[in-house]
Amino acid sequence: MSMAQADYTRERVDASNGSLIGSYSKNIDVTSTDSFAIVLDIDTRGIRESIFSIFNTHGSNSIDYDIWGNLNSNPVTALTGTADTDYDNGWVQIKTTTAQTAGAAPAVETLSNPYTRVVVRIKATSSSNQGTVRIWHRGEN
């Protein structure tokens, strides 16, 4: 699986009490593998609230996804996939493993970000039955 994450320039929107800063990230048409792999990796130091849309576009195969956040200051040690090591490095699982069936409406996940980094991972629900995912993120401060 190759990662083609796109991160967009931050947007400033005027509000009555100042301004909102928005950040956008996406990764579309990512094919799952048999083990968890990161499909979105976001620096969340400047973000207070996030929303994710995770859409399984495959015609028949289900995917699993989970979301992890890191509490350490930068630099953040990369997520290894070994819980004990990851916990020691400041990672916490924000969203436990969740299945998304083919043809289902996009899953929407929201979170507050007291994290320095957030990653979303996917894998095939059933071994050797790969799914295809489109994922979007919008964050605001």
Distance CA 72, CA 28 (A): 29
Evaluate whether residue 12 is within a structural domain. Answer: yes
Distance CA 3, CA 28 (A): 9
What is the pLDDT at residue 10?
A: 64
Residue ranges of E strands in the chain: 6-15, 18-31, 37-43, 49-56, 63-70, 91-100, 107-112, 117-124, 132-140
Distance CA 87, CA 78 (A): 11
pTM above 0.75, yes or no: yes
What is the pLDDT at residue 135?
A: 95
Number of domains in the chain: 1
Token pair of 131 as six digits: 């799914």
Structural domain boundaries enclosing 52:
6-140
Evaluate whether residue 89 is within a structural domain. Answer: yes
CATH of the domain at 126: 2.60.120.20
Evaluate whether residue 63 is within a structural domain. Answer: yes
Can you list the residues of the chain whose pLDDT is less than 50? 1-2
Evaluate whether residue 1 is within a structural domain. Answer: no
